[in-house]
Amino acid sequence: MNVLVVGSGGREHALVRKLRESPRVDRIFCAPGNGGISLDAECVDLRDFAELAEFAKKNDAFTVVGPDDALADGIAEAFAGLPIFAPTKRAAIIEYSKSYSKALMKKYNIPTAAYEVFDNYADALAYARKSAHPLVVKADGLALGKGVTVCQNLKQSEDALKEAMLDKKFGDSGDTVVIEEFLTGREVSVLAFCDGKTIVPMASAQDHKQVFDGNQGANTGGMGTISPSPYYTDEMAKTCFSEIFEPTLKALAAEGREFVGVLFFGLMITADGVKVIEYNARFGDPETQVVLLRLKTDLFDILEACVFGTLDKIKIEWEDNAAACVILASGGYPQAYKKGYEISELSHVPNVFHAGTIVRDGKIFTNGGRVLGVAGVGDTLEKAVSAAYEGVSKIHFEGVHYRKDIGKV
């Protein structure tokens, strides 16, 4: 079978690489892809859903979707009748509306931070003024991972509410806000395969969201990941399965929003048990890069089982090892940065996933904020982290910035 991967980041490069390992996969297309992906897949410059569906049909391709906005815009519906690994827009609401996901958790007793929802600035402000801080202000809709502000004091809450609700920094996504209790603890990402009825969690991962070492500076799309999370025990995994993962899938089904695809649980291990911080309706980036490196089972078999509702028939196995991924970013990211710098020879470095690159005359140039993800695998987390940094040490481009403490904080 042929496969069409939709998206253009490091996550999609990791999906392409893993799917290439499957003896059942013939040609791999990626739309639109990026410079590095074009070395592993046939990139096609299509973005319109009707054109993508037409392409998939003509090329007899099974489609796998990466990005959240495609799901929120209804790509699954546009592919009606064709095999596509993606939740419907109805089901993806669990990511693109935080107020929906909070109400779902409340209704079905799924542990999460206490919260209130506001669509009126004056009421939101009044609530923030009478609340203890820190407090978390979240734009309801998609905001490129930047819609959440952890406010240490009232001034910060006031600013966050003004930016979201009055200045419309996130467009319509901030018309409604969720104001949430601040939780403390270790964060864990657990992605899970779903076929609507059955949910199978993948190996756990830990993201490093802030741009600088020691978890300092602005939040980014993710500066590096490790898998597994050293803080997520087998016992926690069991409790999460029965109290969070399965109840979420069942709740969605009960609400007429049967979920097929990847449910991504952003969890906080608090003193009071594990709680959900957020849901995503897709593979994480850069979680996917580390998690898929540890997957033993044929990924294509799993994705197909999700789409055809037979996930309960398949045994999913993981390597008993660890993986780490360090993101090489453009200087200045997540604020303004320059593009177009040549990247040194990469072909001798294993496990490099391209996020923002372009190929010109056989040479590779930077073309985004997050440029490359350099991963390593080892028997232990320490060995995986060393292997990733060994790769990093061999790569250079002007202005390159990366964290030196992935897997160490």
* Residues that bind ligand AMP in the complex, under the rule CB under 6 A: 113, 136, 145, 148, 150, 180-183, 187, 209, 266, 277-278
Q: Residue 20 and residue 14: Cα distance in Å, rounded?
A: 10
Q: Which two tokens stand for residue 209?
A: 């969201």
Structure-block tokens of residue 249: 């899938």
What's the min distance (Å) between Cβ of 8 and ligand GLY?
A: 14
**Any contact of residue 304 with ligand GLY (CB under 6 A)?**
no
Nearer to ligand GLY, 111 or 286 (CB): 286
* Spatial distance between the Cα atoms of 52 and 38, rounded to a whole number of angstroms: 17
287 lies in the site for ligand GLY, by CB under 6 A: yes
Q: Which is nearer to ligand AMP, 277 or 364 (CB)?
A: 277
The CA angle 154-159-161, to the nearest 5 degrees, is 95
Closer residue to ligand GLY (CB): 195 or 207: 207
User: Of 52-60, 74-82, 164-172, 279-287, which segment contacts ligand GLY by CB under 6 A?
Assistant: 279-287
- Closest distance to ligand GLY from the beta carbon of 340 (Å): 26
- Residue number with CB closer to ligand GLY (84 or 325): 325
Please state the closest distance from residue 212 (CB atom) to ligand AMP, in A. 15
Name the residue number minimizing CB distance to ligand AMP: 278
Locus of tokens 């990211």? 333
Helix (H) or strand (E) holding 362: none
């087998």: which residue's tokens? 234
The two tokens of residue 389 are 């940094």
Exposed/middle/buried for 344, CB within 10 Å: 0-12, 13-18, 19+? Answer: exposed
Cα separation of 275 and 363, whole Å?
Answer: 46
CB 13 within 8 A of CB 34: yes
Which of 299, 356, 353 lies closest to 325, judged by CA? 353
- On whether the CB atoms of residues 23 and 81 are closer than 8 A, the answer is no
Please choose, out of 76-84, 175-183, 194-202, 284-292, the segment that lies near ligand GLY by the rule CB under 6 A: 284-292
Which one of ligand GLY, ligand AMP, none interacts with residue 117, CB within 5 to 8 A by kind? none
Cα 3 → chain centroid: 21
By three-state DSSP, how is residue 234 classified? helix
| Shortest reach from residue 136's CB to ligand AMP, in Å | 4
284, 356, 368, 391: residue in contact with ligand GLY (rule CB under 6 A): 284
Q: How far apart (Å, rounded) are the C-alpha atoms in residues 384 and 375?
A: 8
Nearer to ligand AMP, 162 or 186 (CB): 186
Q: What six digits make up the tokens of 237? A: 């995994």
Which residue's Cβ lies closest to ligand GLY?
284
Nearer to ligand GLY, 53 or 326 (CB): 326
Question: Running DSSP on this structure, what letter comes out for residue 95?
Answer: H
DSSP 367-391: -SSEEEEEEEEESSHHHHHHHHHHH
* Binding at 183: pick from ligand GLY, ligand AMP, none (beta carbon under 5-8 Å per type): ligand AMP
Rounded to a whole number of angstroms, the CA Rg of the chain reads: 20
Q: Does the protein bind ligand GLY through residue 101 (CB under 6 A)? A: no
Q: Within 361-380, which residues bind ligand GLY (CB under 6 A)? A: none
Q: Which does 287 bind (CB under 5 to 8 A by kind): ligand AMP, ligand GLY, none?
A: ligand GLY
CB of 274 to ligand AMP, least distance (A): 13
Closest contact distance (angstroms) between CB of 64 and ligand GLY is 16
Q: Does 280 bind ligand GLY (CB under 6 A)?
A: yes
Q: Which of 10, 87, 196, 222 binds ligand GLY (CB under 6 A)?
A: 222
Binding mask 191-220 for ligand GLY (x = CB under 6 A): ----------------x-------------
Binding mask 129-148 for ligand GLY (x = CB under 6 A): ----------------x---
Query: 129-155 in b/e burial notation, b at 16+ Cβ within 10 A?
Result: eebeeebbbbbbbbbebbbbbbbeeee
For residue 134, the number of C-alpha atoms closer than 13 Å in the C-beta half-sphere is 10
**Residue 174 interacts with ligand GLY (CB under 6 A): yes or no:** no
Distance CA 180, CA 303 (A): 35
The smaller minimum CB distance to ligand AMP, of residues 42 and 175, is found at: 175
